[in-house]
Chains A and B, each alone.
Chain A
Amino acid sequence: MKAYTILFTVTILGCCLFGARATRAQSASGFTSIDYDADSNTVDAYSETDLDWNLQGDYDARVRIWVYKNGGFITYQETVDHSGDGIATVEVILSGEPDSTYRANGAHAALCAFSDYSNYYPYHLFYYDNWWLGRFEQQNINVPWYYYFLSNGFQQVARQLKPVNLGTTYDTDTVTTPKLQVEMSEDKHIKDGETASFSVTITGATPANSPTNYEWTFEAPSGAVNTPHVAFSPPNGSSSVTTDGHWFAYPDSACGTSFDATYTIKCKVSFSHSKPKTAQTTLSINAFWDPAGSVNPNEARVIGAPSMAPDANGIWHITGMGNLARQIPQKHVFITTGQFITKADAHEQVHVDQWAPGHLFGSLHQPADYYARIQNFTGTSQADLVNKLTVDLSTYTNAQDDFYAHHKADAETEAYNVSDQIVPKFLYQYCGTNQL
């Protein structure tokens, strides 16, 4: 009895021990991870299926991985372990794209290693799923990171499909790469003919995803004329450039175009491992000078003084022309840069030439004319004579000014007739009688 009891007890304990080991050990596990390494700009997606040693031989491990970027599928890989060690791994390495979120889904499966052919109708091939892993297939397991697929133990289960899909794991440690930004320097306002500088600033770039080229371009409004263009120096390849300043005409109208020409300046930055990014700003070029130039008729006058001397009675007389001379106005061109200097200069030169003998104002402020008026003046003192001379010079000068005022419109017409022929023709043209 005692021996029987001991045998019974040992048998029960042995069964328990055997059963316990069997229920704990026959299992599979799976996990998935994804990481981003900024230094190498790589996204590393990894998944693995592990079969316990008791399952090895009865099953082969399989793992599949799907990688998504910003919710969109980008790649898939699959690995089956045929070596018998029960471990299937798969790894996907990608170049990270800025401002993107990556996700990896790993699917774990055990492939039934043994099969047989049924001798009975319908005579199909079947597989041995002796650890009944197939029970996971209906559970739709889909969990983050890791799962332990615990078997129920050895059972005689047959199935028609070789792969036993256990479930999926996915990495919750999703990775968002640093946001790559390209910013342009502020908009610039310059005068026609001046230069401007622009630069782009990049944030979020890494040694592994660094800028490889800078492509500078410009845009002008459709319909703009006067050859819109921007010359960049250097043309490409640099994060900083200097531009010229070329005013264009928009709209195409001699008297209705804008004084401001605004270009859109763009810089397309290419990167080693991501799509190019473009930043933009504006370059406004102003061609407005008012006045563009002048020839000031106030400068025109008779200068100097006649020679004078007292006679024996102390009466002062004019004795000669002295240093009386004619002063004519000077040309002032206020446009300092750009396309309209020549035009303004030509216009004002006409005004200067109008004071030359034989021209519109050639007879004004002539010392001889003034001298003819005052040559017989006398004075009781030098001061008295000079007083009379200045009174008359004021009168004479005023008469010259009146003549000028009366012919001012003719003078402008002459000047515009010359300057209007000089390109560009869009600004500083004759546009109405009020200019004359």
Chain B
Amino acid sequence: MLILKASLPAVLMLLGFTTSATLHFGASPALAKTTADNSLFGLASSSDFGIVGTVSNTTGVRKRLSPEELVKLADLSKALGGTIYKIHIDEVVTRRSDFGKGRSSTSFPNGDLFIFRRRDAPYFPNEFYELGQRYLIFVNQIANQTALQKSYELEPKTTYYQAFDPNQGIVRLKSIEDPLVLKFRQLGQAIQPPDLNKKLQRLKILTRSRDPELGQMAEEAIKLIQHKMRE
């Protein structure tokens, strides 16, 4: 797939100066937009979690079909539902709840998070996770888990997630100490305290970072927290 990116930070920086792209789902071609609608801060604050994890297993999942539907199935591939990626979490780096946006459950049985990718979902090359590889992934819980269970043969007591903004929100890592991870880790730790004043205090320190992107994220987080305090 021919895509326009070098690395996530580089692309985001470039997009910030020039233009940014948003993928359009469906058949229409993806066209460039002229407004920046993605940012590192957006990844952290708008996803349920930002995690660093390793793909420990992949499983093919069928659509849930009745015996009658199975008998009528002239093309077996119509039963293909998708893939479950079992991600063993090394670290949760960001939580949306820390940004004052909703609540993020931190209960991951056995430290695993399950990503379900429908086979007929819009295609993002990044979403082909490789077994044994470590990734930084920003995820959201898939809405309406009950309906999901009805449509696909999924484990009933498992919560399934999907990648948030797969173009930007999935980064294959060579090391857990990847600079990008360090960036989000610092932001996540700064904003973690429940006390809003404490959050602000820590974020203000981050604004003085020599890393301009981290400083920018901290600035945006401060605005968000200050807005929260005025509510």
User: Which of B60, B65, B171 has the most C-beta atoms of chain A within 10 angstroms of its own C-beta?
Assistant: B60
Assess whether B143 is interfacial by the CB under 8 Å rule: no
Q: Nearest CB to that of B131 among chain A residues?
A: A402
Chain A residues with Cβ below 8 Å from B6 are 255, 431-432, 434-435
Chain A residues with Cβ below 8 Å from B1 are 291, 293-295, 348, 351, 412
Q: Are A408 and B125 in contact (CB under 8 A)?
A: yes
Assess whether A62 is interfacial by the CB under 8 Å rule: no
Encode A383-400 as 1/0 by CB contact (under 8 A) with B: 100110111011111100
* Residue in A286, A304, A405 whose beta carbon sits within 8 Å of that of B32 in the complex: A286
Known interface pairs A305-B73, A390-B76, A397-B60. Does A289 touch B128 (Cβ–Cβ under 8 Å)? no
Q: Are B67 and A258 in contact (CB under 8 A)?
A: no
B interface, CB within 8 angstroms of A: 1-8, 10, 14, 17-19, 21, 23, 29-32, 34, 58-62, 65, 67-68, 70-71, 73-77, 79-81, 83, 119-121, 123, 125, 128-131, 167, 171-172
Chain A residues with Cβ below 8 Å from B123 are 294, 296-298
Q: Nearest CB to that of A389 among chain B residues?
A: B76
Assess whether A66 is interfacial by the CB under 8 Å rule: no
Q: Are A398 and B60 in contact (CB under 8 A)?
A: yes
Q: Are A428 and B4 in contact (CB under 8 A)?
A: yes
Alpha-carbon gap, A39 to B72, bound state (A):
87
Chain A residues with Cβ below 8 Å from B4 are 259, 288-292, 427-428
Chain B residues with Cβ below 8 Å from A435 are 3, 5-6
Chain A residues with Cβ below 8 Å from B120 are 298
Encode A284-327 as 1/0 by CB contact (under 8 A) with B: 00101111111111100111110000000000000000000001
Chain A residues with Cβ below 8 Å from B31 are 191, 289
Q: Are B59 and A292 in contact (CB under 8 A)?
A: no
Question: 14 other contacts beyond A291-B23, A293-B1, A343-B2, with CB at 8 A cut-off?
Answer: A259-B32, A288-B18, A291-B3, A293-B2, A335-B29, A344-B2, A347-B2, A390-B62, A397-B60, A397-B77, A402-B58, A402-B130, A412-B1, A434-B8
Closest 5 CB pairs of A and B: A398-B60, A394-B60, A334-B29, A288-B32, A290-B21
Alpha-carbon gap, A247 to B41, bound state (A):
31
Alpha-carbon gap, A258 to B8, bound state (A):
16
Q: Nearest CB to that of A412 among chain B residues?
A: B1
A interface, CB within 8 angstroms of B: 189, 191, 255-256, 258-260, 286, 288-298, 301-305, 327, 334-336, 343-344, 347-348, 351, 381-383, 386-387, 389-391, 393-398, 401-402, 404-406, 408, 412, 415, 419, 427-428, 431-432, 434-435
Q: Are A289 and B77 in contact (CB under 8 A)?
A: no
Q: Are A291 and B128 in contact (CB under 8 A)?
A: no
Closest Cβ of chain A to B68, distance in Å, is: 8
Closest Cβ of chain A to B58, distance in Å, is: 6
Chain A residues with Cβ below 8 Å from B131 are 402, 405-406
Closest Cβ of chain B to A309, distance in Å, is: 13
Chain B residues with Cβ below 8 Å from A382 are 70-71
Q: Are A405 and B129 in contact (CB under 8 A)?
A: yes
Chain A residues with Cβ below 8 Å from B171 are 434
Known interface pairs A189-B34, A389-B76, A393-B79. Does A288 touch B19 (Cβ–Cβ under 8 Å)? yes
Alpha-carbon gap, A335 to B7, bound state (A):
22
Q: Are B77 and A259 in contact (CB under 8 A)?
A: no
Chain B residues with Cβ below 8 Å from A434 are 5-8, 171-172
Chain B residues with Cβ below 8 Å from A419 are 2
Closest Cβ of chain B to A414, distance in Å, is: 12
Closest Cβ of chain B to A188, distance in Å, is: 13
Closest Cβ of chain A to B221, distance in Å, is: 25
Q: Are B71 and A301 in contact (CB under 8 A)?
A: no
Q: Are B79 and A390 in contact (CB under 8 A)?
A: yes
Alpha-carbon gap, A182 to B17, bound state (A):
32
Known interface pairs A288-B4, A351-B1, A406-B130. Does A301 touch B80 (Cβ–Cβ under 8 Å)? yes
Closest Cβ of chain B to A72, distance in Å, is: 47
Closest Cβ of chain B to A391, distance in Å, is: 7
Q: Are A290 and B30 in contact (CB under 8 A)?
A: yes
Q: Are A401 and B128 in contact (CB under 8 A)?
A: yes
Q: Nearest CB to that of B59 among chain A residues?
A: A398
A-B contact pairs, 20 of them (CB 8 A): A189-B34, A191-B31, A260-B19, A289-B29, A290-B32, A301-B80, A348-B2, A386-B73, A386-B76, A387-B67, A390-B80, A393-B77, A393-B80, A394-B80, A397-B77, A397-B80, A402-B131, A404-B128, A434-B8, A434-B172
Alpha-carbon gap, A297 to B79, bound state (A):
17
Q: Are B76 and A290 in contact (CB under 8 A)?
A: no
Q: Are B3 and A258 in contact (CB under 8 A)?
A: no
Chain A residues with Cβ below 8 Å from B30 are 289-291, 334
Alpha-carbon gap, A372 to B45, bound state (A):
49
Q: Are B2 and A291 in contact (CB under 8 A)?
A: yes
Q: Are A391 and B62 in contact (CB under 8 A)?
A: yes
* Residue in A260, A288, A305, A408 whose beta carbon sits within 8 Å of that of B130 in the complex: A408
